Amino acid sequence: MSKVALVTGASSGIGAATVKRLRADGFEVYAGARRQERMAPLAEAGARLLSLDLTDEASIAAAMAEIEAKSGRLDVLVNNAGYGAYGALEDVPPAEARRQCEVNLFGLARLIQLALPMMRKQGSGRIINVTSIGGKIHEPFGSWYHATKFAVEGLSDCLRMEVAPFGIDVIVIEPGAIRTEWAGIAHESLLRTSGDTAYGPWARRHARMLSEATSSKFPSLPEVVANTIARAASATSPQTRYATGGGARTVLFLRRVLPDRMFDRLMWRFSQGGKGAS
């Protein structure tokens, strides 16, 4: 019997690559996203498509009910959906901050809540939460994004201990720079939110850095992360965390060894294209 997996945020990038990789590994895969029309290639690869909006409780419940009705089990939940809405904390509208938390944190947690009864009944399961090196480091203009990723790191650690007695593993994937739509969304939201405010001169330079980083050779392809997720999904004794992709291990090492203010200066200079703080 094939193992069953659900991958969220499957319409593009890491999610789409993960669906394809898990299908190649023999999983029965449910691909969940809001934009179902963009998942047609995944259906052709044998994935089952789910309409899934992580800001909508009814959508989340319906998706999980469909998996239980059609497959009767869930072996691997890959919580990949998420986005980065950037802007100075002072400028970000409360509604956008809440939406960021709904998608990146609360929707993820609700999916886990609904998956756990199936996994407990089976006596096994893998919950794979895709955070980011942004769950360990910080940068200007990303306060709400980083807050959600730090939160998922902590949630995952607590959950890992709670569900271990039921034979369920919780694994965190920490991508570095990856060639996806993420940087473009962050770039546009940063300019829209803070490009013409008191933070404008620095926000515009940071946005330019995001744009230039996407077109450089530094980011890894989404398949690099997908391969790491697949390894975590099938390993006999998976690690609790996997840092993967463009610069992930190097940046996390620097965060561990540098004092806070030295790391602040490093990230500020990077965000400003090498310019010091004014």
Question: Would you list the domain boundaries of the chain?
Answer: 4-271
Query: What pLDDT shows up at residue 276?
Result: 56
Query: What pLDDT shows up at residue 230?
Result: 98
Query: What pLDDT shows up at residue 218?
Result: 80
In whole angstroms, give the CA distance from residue 82 to residue 36: 16
The pLDDT tens digits for 73-115 are: 999 999 999 998 899 999 999 999 999 999 999 999 999 999 9
In whole angstroms, give the CA distance from residue 170 to residue 91: 35
Active-site amino acid positions: 145
CATH H-level, domain 4-271: superfamily: NAD(P)-binding Rossmann-like Domain (3.40.50.720)
CA dist 75 → 115, 229, 244 (Å): 9, 14, 23
Is residue 65 scored above 50 in pLDDT?
A: yes
Question: Chain-wide mean pLDDT for the chain?
Answer: 94
The pLDDT tens digits for 196-221 are: 999 999 999 999 988 887 667 788 99
In whole angstroms, give the CA distance from residue 84 to residue 187: 9
The pLDDT tens digits for 223-235 are: 999 999 999 999 9
Is residue 278 scored above 60 in pLDDT?
A: no
- Among 37-41, 116-120, 211-215, which is the least confidently predicted range? 211-215
Side-chain-facing half-sphere of 135: CA atoms under 13 Å: 24
Query: What pLDDT shows up at residue 244?
Result: 96
